[in-house]
């Protein structure tokens, strides 16, 4: 953006003067991000106000819902543009007049760094302050690792820059990161603060303050505590904090910037940006931009088992009223207990206040009479995975619910259009495929039938957004997007076993790649019998389904951890997988020795299989975009974020 004019920058700011205090208000919606124009504007205002003899101090505040809450996503992948943020922060810090940052909403990343260049910082009580760069595979790139410890001490600097989690204004005040908490009338309160501090001697500028050296033991302990995900940002942030305390500010700033720029172009940071941008786009698909969703206040859930209870809890937690229907009074009571257990967990973890807990429980009613569903705007079915049972449920639903009620199935594998075939008002049926545990997992596959109307589809997305999910549209095929790719992944893992790759090596390779568990450990945890029964059902209905290695294990009674043996052996009460002689014997006849594979080669094979299936899914129109497939895998199946998802990985990773 080299063609930036002074007017571009000026249009983003409003300058007012109150006696001898200048008040500079930035208005760059939605989050006052530090775009090129914002940086240029701040720099030129600092220069101009330095020359203005009628001004003694500058209050910097922001219009809208927040202070500067980070960088401009539109500039994420562009080469760095002048003026660079570190120079802007330095220009503010070295201004002839003291600057005072008045923070509301959030001061994040570059926003907090700008505030730290000011001589004073005040914030409203509800404001949050943070350095979240590690979440994008970066470190603070404009002095965060150099200025934060000088204001708030090294412990707090580590907390902010290494964890990436924001802190409250109160915590910031206690640490010395801000100088005061002000009321909500930002401008008036900030001006009052300015007048008060101008009457006193000025404190040292941030970089003039000490940043004491810490011991080797201190850094060793901090490194051990820092998250050790598969990307370098957390440890790099720590290393920069250390460098900053052992070198002069100038060298420290240069070192931080260099590290920032190196990380910025790393594969992991690009992958994390890809996932971040895809997540932001997911809840508002282009095709539904002009479609108004139906209103949602009251949600019905059929079935109070694993999924139904989780879905009911997710709805309650988002403020919806919920009616849960089970097969009889006892099952309804059990369903209620299941939901209560989940809400109780939220209460214990402090996610719900006791009052909110009472309110949410009061918004839940459970019973066995379908007539109670009559007032619902949306009903989600989560009964047994059985076509006839589900068809029976939907027949009853169409009898009690009006045509405006959206009727959804949570089926994992059945064809939603078969479940509702022949029922009236076909436009209101849809698949809403949640993941277990449904109140925790972010993924929601939204599966329209051929006849689902646009407003019903939009309602699915609106529900997803309301529940804090990542809603992804999927077409109809066996397993939709996620489970279909999972099946291919598992099949490829079995192929490797047939080629003589040890089971434990495959799991270890996928853990090294970034999954919490490898494919066989995960099957042992979930149970091998579910997929086995599906294959059996398909065979019984006449389909040709190849015999899987998993079939041999299930038929030998090895269903996973629950039977103390699946792909691995387990000691009673111990979840540690141990390579199994019995499995080796059972599978021996299926295995032909092949070449040894490195962990990297194993991961490439398995991720390659996922990407190939993803490509088929795209070609068939089952998924709308490759990013959607990546989000499904990241949010539903533990694919490491910093690898970007299978499609991004296949297209961008430099495979050795």
Residue ranges binding ligand NAI (CB under 6 A): 302-308, 325-327, 331, 382-385, 389, 393, 410-412, 434-436
Distance of closest approach, residue 472 Cβ to ligand NAI, in angstroms: 14
Q: Report the residue number whose CB is nearest to ligand NAI.
A: 305
**Beta-bridge mates of residue 310:** none
Pick the closer one to ligand NAI by CB: 429 or 435. Answer: 435
Closest CA to 139 of 279, 51, 269: 269
Sheet with 99-103: list strands edge to edge: 13-18, 21-26, 57-62, 99-103, 120-124, 180-182
Alpha helices in 82-185 (DSSP H): 85-93, 110-117, 144-163, 169-175
Return phi, psi of residue 447, to 5°.
-120, 95
260 versus 434: smaller Cβ distance to ligand NAI: 434
Rank residues 179 and 524 by Cβ distance to ligand NAI and give the closer one. Answer: 524
> In the complex with ligand NAI, which residue's Cβ is closer, 40 or 382?
382
* Beta carbon nearer to ligand NAI, 369 or 600: 369
> CA nearest 461: which of 281, 322, 641, 272?
281
Written as six digits, the tokens of 576 are 């540690």
The nearest distance, CB 482 to ligand NAI, in angstroms, is: 9
Residue whose CB is less far from ligand NAI, 34 or 323: 323
In the complex, least distance from residue 533 CB atom to ligand NAI, rounded to whole angstroms: 11
Do the beta carbons of residue 630 and residue 646 sit within 8 Å? yes
480 in the Ramachandran plot: left (φ > 0), alpha (ψ -120 to 50) or beta? Answer: left
- Minimum CB separation of residue 441 from ligand NAI in Å reads 9
CA–CA distance, 285 with 288 (Å, rounded to integer): 6
Q: Decide: residue 607, CB within 10 A, 0-12 exposed, 13-18 middle, 19+ buried.
A: buried
Q: How far is CA 654 from CA 359, 600, 604, in A?
A: 52, 12, 11
CB of 618 to ligand NAI, least distance (A): 23
If the CB atoms of residues 435 and 515 are measured against ligand NAI, the closer one turns out to be 435
Closer Cβ to ligand NAI, 436 or 598, answer by number: 436
| Residue among 637 and 649 whose Cβ is closer to ligand NAI | 637
At residue 148, what are phi and psi to the nearest 5 degrees? -55, -50
User: CB of residue 44 vs ligand NAI: minimum separation in angstroms?
Assistant: 55
Residue 478 CB, nearest approach to ligand NAI (Å): 12
The 128-130 sheet, strands edge to edge: 106-108, 128-130, 167-168
To the nearest whole angstrom, how small is the minimum distance from the Cβ of residue 412 to ligand NAI?
A: 4
Q: How far is the CB of 177 from ligand NAI (least distance, A)?
A: 43
CA angle 163, 169, 175 (to 5 degrees): 70
């Amino acid at each position: 953006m080299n063609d930036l004019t002074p007017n571009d920058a000026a249009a983003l700011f409003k300058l007012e003067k109150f006696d001898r205090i200048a008040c500079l208000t930035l208005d760059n919606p939605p989050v006052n991000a530090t775009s090129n124009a914002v940086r240029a504007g701040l720099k030129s205002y600092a220069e101009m106000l330095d020359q203005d003899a009628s001004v003694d101090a500058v209050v910097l505040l922001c219009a809208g819902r927040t202070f500067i809450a980070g960088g401009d996503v539109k500039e994420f992948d562009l080469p760095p543009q002048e003026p660079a943020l570190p120079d802007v922060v330095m220009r503010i810090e070295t201004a002839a007049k003291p600057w005072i940052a008045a923070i509301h909403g959030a001061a994040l990343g570059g926003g907090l760094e700008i505030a730290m260049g000011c001589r004073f910082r005040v914030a409203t009580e509800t404001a949050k302050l943070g350095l979240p760069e590690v979440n994008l595979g970066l470190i603070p790139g404009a002095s965060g690792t150099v200025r934060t410890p000088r204001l708030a001490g090294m412990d707090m600097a580590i907390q902010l820059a290494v964890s990436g989690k924001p802190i409250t204004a109160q915590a910031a005040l206690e640490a010395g990161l801000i100088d005061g908490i002000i009321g909500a009338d930002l401008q008036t309160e900030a001006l009052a603060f300015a007048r008060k501090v101008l009457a006193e001697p000025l404190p040292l500028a941030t970089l003039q303050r000490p940043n004491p050296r810490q011991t080797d033991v201190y850094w060793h302990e901090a490194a051990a505590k820092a998250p050790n995900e598969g990307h370098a940002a957390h440890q790099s942030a720590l290393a920069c904090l250390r460098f900053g305390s052992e070198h002069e500010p100038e060298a420290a700033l240069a070192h931080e910037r260099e590290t920032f720029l190196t990380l910025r172009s790393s594969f992991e940071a690009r992958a994390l940006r890809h996932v971040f941008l895809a997540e932001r786009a997911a809840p508002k698909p282009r095709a539904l931009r002009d479609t108004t969703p139906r209103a949602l206040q009251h949600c019905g859930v059929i079935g109070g088992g694993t999924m139904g209870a989780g879905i009911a809890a997710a709805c309650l937690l988002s403020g919806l009223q919920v009616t849960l229907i089970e097969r009889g009074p006892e099952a309804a009571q059990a369903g209620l207990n299941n939901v209560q257990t989940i809400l109780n967990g939220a209460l214990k973890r402090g996610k719900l206040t006791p009052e909110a807990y009472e309110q949410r429980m009061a918004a839940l009613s459970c019973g066995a009479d379908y007539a109670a569903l009559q007032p619902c705007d949306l009903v989600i079915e989560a009964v047994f995975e059985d076509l006839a049972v589900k068809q029976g449920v939907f027949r009853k639903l169409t009898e009690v619910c009006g045509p405006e009620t959206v009727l959804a199935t949570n089926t994992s594998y059945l064809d939603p259009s078969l479940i509702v075939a022949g029922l009236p008002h076909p436009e209101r049926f849809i698949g809403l495929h949640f993941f277990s545990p449904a109140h925790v997992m972010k993924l929601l596959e939204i599966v329209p039938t051929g006849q689902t109307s646009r407003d019903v589809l939009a309602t699915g997305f609106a529900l997803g957004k309301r529940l804090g999910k990542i809603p992804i549209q999927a077409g109809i095929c066996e397993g939709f997007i996620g489970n279909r790719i999972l099946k291919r992944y598992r099949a490829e893992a079995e192929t490797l076993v047939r080629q003589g790759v040890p089971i434990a090596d495959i799991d270890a390779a996928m853990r090294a790649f970034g999954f919490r568990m490898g494919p066989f450990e995960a099957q042992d945890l979930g149970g091998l019998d579910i997929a086995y029964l599906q294959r059996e059902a398909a065979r019984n209905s006449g389909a040709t389904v190849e015999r899987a290695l998993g079939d041999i294990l299930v038929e030998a009674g090895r269903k996973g951890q629950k039977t103390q043996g699946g792909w691995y052996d387990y000691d009673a009460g111990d979840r540690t997988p141990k390579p199994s002689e019995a499995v080796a014997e059972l599978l021996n006849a299926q295995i032909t020795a092949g070449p040894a594979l490195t962990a990297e080669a194993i991961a490439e094979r398995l991720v390659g299989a996922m990407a190939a299936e993803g490509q088929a899914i795209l070609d068939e129109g089952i998924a709308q975009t490759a990013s959607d497939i990546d989000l499904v895998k990241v949010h539903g199946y533990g694919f490491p974020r910093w690898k970007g998802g299978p499609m991004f990985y296949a297209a961008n990773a430099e495979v050795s």
